[in-house]
Amino acid sequence: MADFIVLFGPPGVGKGTQAELLVRRFKLPHVATGDLFRDHIKRHTPLGRLAKGYMDRGELVPDAVTIGMLRERIEQPDAANGALLDGFPRSAAQADALAQLLAEKGEAVRVVLLISVPTDALLERLANRRTCSRCGAVYNLVTNPPQQDGTCDRCGGPVVQRADDQPEVQKKRIDVYLQQTMPLVDYYRERRLVEEIDGQQTIPEVHHQILEAIGRSRARPAQR
């Protein structure tokens, strides 16, 4: 069974950071729908133009568009042995589509890693979050700042605040998460796929707990 791992959690919980550590370790592609949309926006594609308005308002891009984009990505050869899904699914329709898409390959979601942090702590993290506009590396001004102010350690690109990390949009994104995405946790809980992880620990501690959770999920019989 391939490793299709879903990383779940509100915006600002540290999904992106943990995803980077995991893909390095497991050699899985990091499939982040937010990054895919941002890439389309940068390239001025029709899909990017469509997604931008929703993203700027902190709303979900319509399911049909998002599912189509995800399907195309998952069908690339590098995802044959699995993928780390970050930011997808975010709605019930997307969860159903994912199950169907994987079933067509004889696969299923291996585990859903739910990283949790209380909302007030999230808002503080999001306020301090900065992102490299060239390579997408994520920083926190307090806990993980770039070595040189405003410059990415990895690629030298400009480190800025994402448009959708402005306070009003952040609140909207957290509301959307609680209303539209949180119900999916029950969907996956019913399928016994959820492993909950306390996101208020250090980055290595969260990573360690995630590795343990993946180990446990590999020891369980597949849920199809």
Q: Hey, which residues are catalytic here?
A: 15, 90, 129, 162, 173
- Applying CB under 6 A, which residues contact ligand AMP? 11, 33-34, 37, 54-55, 58-61, 66, 87-88, 90, 94, 164, 173
12: left (phi over 0), alpha (psi -120 to 50) or beta: left
From the list 159, 173, 219, the residue with the least C-alpha distance to 54 is 173
The residue whose two tokens read 């001004």 is 141
Q: What span, in angstroms and rounded, lies between the C-alpha atoms of 199 and 134? A: 27
At position 176, the amino acid (one-letter code) is: V
Least separation in angstroms between residue 198's CB and ligand AMP is: 21
Query: Does residue 137 contact residue 17 with C-beta atoms inside 8 Å?
Result: no
Chain-centre distance of CA 213, in angstroms? 17
The SS3 assignment for 142 reads coil
Nearer to ligand AMP, 94 or 217 (CB): 94
Least separation in angstroms between residue 29's CB and ligand AMP is: 16
Q: What span, in angstroms and rounded, lies between the C-alpha atoms of 103 and 179? A: 27
Least separation in angstroms between residue 60's CB and ligand AMP is: 4
Nearer to ligand AMP, 52 or 191 (CB): 52
Q: What span, in angstroms and rounded, lies between the C-alpha atoms of 141 and 185? A: 30
Nearer to ligand AMP, 48 or 157 (CB): 48
Residue 147 bridge partners (DSSP): none
Nearer to ligand AMP, 3 or 86 (CB): 86
Q: Output the residue with the shortest Cβ distance to ligand AMP.
A: 34
Least separation in angstroms between residue 61's CB and ligand AMP is: 4
Least separation in angstroms between residue 110's CB and ligand AMP is: 19
Nearer to ligand AMP, 6 or 194 (CB): 6
Task: Give the burial string for 79-102 (b: 16+ CB within 10 Å, else e).
Answer: beebbbbbbbbbbeebbebbbebb
